[in-house]
Chains A and B, each alone.
Chain A
Amino acid sequence: MKEDVKISTLGMNCPKPLIETRKALRKLTKGQVLVVEGDHEISKSEIPQAVKDTGDEVLSVEDKSPVWIITIRKG
């Protein structure tokens, strides 16, 4: 899937990966795809949960430990 926007949260600590994900999602329109890359372990599970809370869709969570890549479609 081709992303519309890609952001990196590599090196960021709690709660910045989650905040930067939400800031990026807010700038997208419905149906657009955001790719978030990071290495903050807890955010790997917290971002998908937060995304579901607002009705956006997690398309995939790739684990390339310690790095993860989460692909989200804006709802």
Chain B
Amino acid sequence: MTGTKSMSIILHSGDLDKAMAAFILAAGAAAKGMNVTMFFTFWGLGVMKKGGADKSKLSKMNMGGLGTKMMKGVMKKNNVATLTELISDCKELGVRFVACEMTMSLMNVPKEMLISEVTEIGGVGTYLDAASEGHVNLFI
């Protein structure tokens, strides 16, 4: 393997559609052999809470939960992976998950509330170290 490329993603949103995009990109990049770092801040950290991925709602047309339920049904029918499945795939392919320390203290989220796939806690410096080596850096 020569000249391994890197990617970083800040997941700021807790919306289902945006989190899906983030994890699809992360898994795809990892599958292409890239080093991927995902940084979870603000509402994005909620997705990494135990049970958080299942509670995630559509950013538009949620309609009190009905829209999200319908979208999940359509996704299943089209064999699109669930958010939980994509998180697991990312982990298996070596994607680095970093929880934002500031958000954890601000929103009173101790490490125990996060899924076990999140093994790192960091701040803006941790993210910038990854992003400054990144060929693709996204804020979602």
Contact = CB atoms under 8 A, between A and B. Distances in A.
Interface of A: 11-16, 18-19, 21-23, 26, 49-50, 53-55
Interface string B30-69: 1111000000000000000000000000000000000000
Interface string B85-103: 0000100110000000000
Nearest to B5: A53
A15 B1 contact: no
Given A22-B93, A23-B89, A23-B93, A15 B33 contact: no
Nearest to B33: A54
Contact of A50 (B31, B78, B80): B31
A71 to B, nearest CB: 18
Q: Chain A interface secondary structure, helix, strand, loop or mixed? A: helix
Interface of B: 1-2, 24, 27-28, 30-33, 78-81, 89, 92-93
Nearest to A55: B1
A15 B2 contact: no
B33 A19 contact: no
Contact of A26 (B1, B28, B93): B93
Given A23-B92, A26-B93, A12 B31 contact: no
Contact of B31 (A11, A13, A15): A15
